[in-house]
Amino acid sequence: MNSDMLNNIAKTLNAAPEVVQARADEVLAEQGAAWKAAGRSEEDCYVLALRVAARNITSENSRMRRVGADTYEGMFISCPRPKEWGKILYNKMKNQLLSASPEARAVLVNSGACVLFENNHDGTYTRMAREDFYGAEEADVSALPKHTMALDANTHFFVVWDKTNKTFPSGDSNFKFGAPRPQDERERVSLFYGRKAGESDLRIITVSGNGKAADRQYPTFTPLSIPMKSARNPERAYLNADVSVASADANLANLFPGPPTEMIGELIGAENLVNSLGDLGTYYDTFNGKDGWWDRNLAVNTEVIHIDPRDNGGCILVCGDLDITSMAGTVDVYCDEDVSFAVGTKLMLVGQAWRSREGEDRLSVNGWYAFDEIASVAESTEGWDE
């Protein structure tokens, strides 16, 4: 009976029974104890979990339709930390203004790069801005706008969001024109290898998320499905903070011709496969400054030599070269959750090479895949490791 109910719900939702079962299992893990304490039987709890899972999936599908999202199947191969463009731009402007003469500050204001505020110490501020922003170069205001940053005890400023376009291409007024650029402007640009559900061909898709949509960290090299908003360019997609929640599905490993260690050269280019951490310097010298450098990812195989717990949960994987005689430094991989494998496990790292001011060659890790795992506890494995 329960099997029939599962299949009927899955058919109604147009979802795989395994997906519905996984969602019901999540509900059971969260609510099962409370239901049992209230006198519900095992079968009652399972039926309740299926119903809750069905309502959750229906609600998510409704949100997807409202934002115009599609379901994508595949895996993330690179999910770097978000770029905090607002913080970067404000700190850069602050440094410029601090070292600038009054005349140089006036040039920045007149160019529309920023707006300055001088404290009159009577509850008002004198605003200095390009004339076309507010109709006058100077005016007194009673409060500082949002996203204003202090320059010194008497001066505040904000970076102008858009100094060029008074209207959008549609002709509507551009709310960004002359307005403060948000200080908390964040963007994460990831790489996804997969397809839109229902399609057959796999491809590399550049996935962008802004604001709250940039805050979610997705696992890499994990087969999953995820709702994203499609772009006109089939190689672009956009995250939505409300609906872009990934659902791991080991069965989707069948989409790929082999494990990530065999595919990575084709995905990022064979020239970006590095033999060891000791070769990071040579790689950096070869490609630094060339076209596409800032978007270039490399891959290197390493070994977990230590696992450190983090204070707020998760762990740090300390990775070293496979060659035990290597003198190259280690690389730290930060995980939000504990891992099921132990020291000695091989880890393929995907990331970007850079060089510190002290001349040390480093790797920023944007993705990782564990293989030749040494399990910390006995457990079954699925997907690529079957």
Which residue segment(s) compose the domain that 357 sits in? 269-385
Confidence at residue 67, expressed as pLDDT on a 0 to 100 scale = 64
CATH at residue 219 = 2.40.50
Tokens coding 361:
């060659």
Q: Is the model's pLDDT at 194 over the cut of 70?
A: yes
Could you give the 3-state DSSP secondary structure of residue 34? Answer: helix
**Which tens digits make up the pLDDT trace of 285-303?**
999 999 889 889 999 999 9
- Mean pLDDT across the stretch 111-134? 96
Handedness of CA 175, 181, 186, 188 (dihedral sign): positive
Residues 58 and 73 in one domain: no
- Phi/psi region, residue 171 (left: phi>0; alpha: psi -120 to 50; beta: rest), is left
Look up the pTM and report it: 0.75
User: What mean pLDDT, rounded, does the chain reach?
Assistant: 91
Residues 132 and 150 in one domain: yes
Please tell me the distance from the alpha carbon of residue 22 to that of residue 254, in angstroms, as a whole number. 18
Residues 282 and 135 in one domain: no
Residues 72 and 202 in one domain: yes
In a domain, 239, yes or no: yes
Whether the Cβ atoms of residue 340 and residue 377 lie closer than 8 Å to each other:
yes
Could you give the 3-state DSSP secondary structure of residue 285? Answer: helix
In a domain, 321, yes or no: yes
Residues 229 and 293 in one domain: no
Element (H, E) at 44: helix 42-67
Residues 281 and 364 in one domain: yes
Q: How many C-beta atoms lie closer than 10 Å to residue 275's C-beta?
A: 13
What are residue 71's DSSP bridge partners?
227
Confidence at residue 241, expressed as pLDDT on a 0 to 100 scale = 86
Please tell me the distance from the alpha carbon of residue 169 to that of residue 190, in angstroms, as a whole number. 28
State which of 112, 140, 159 marks the end of a domain: 159
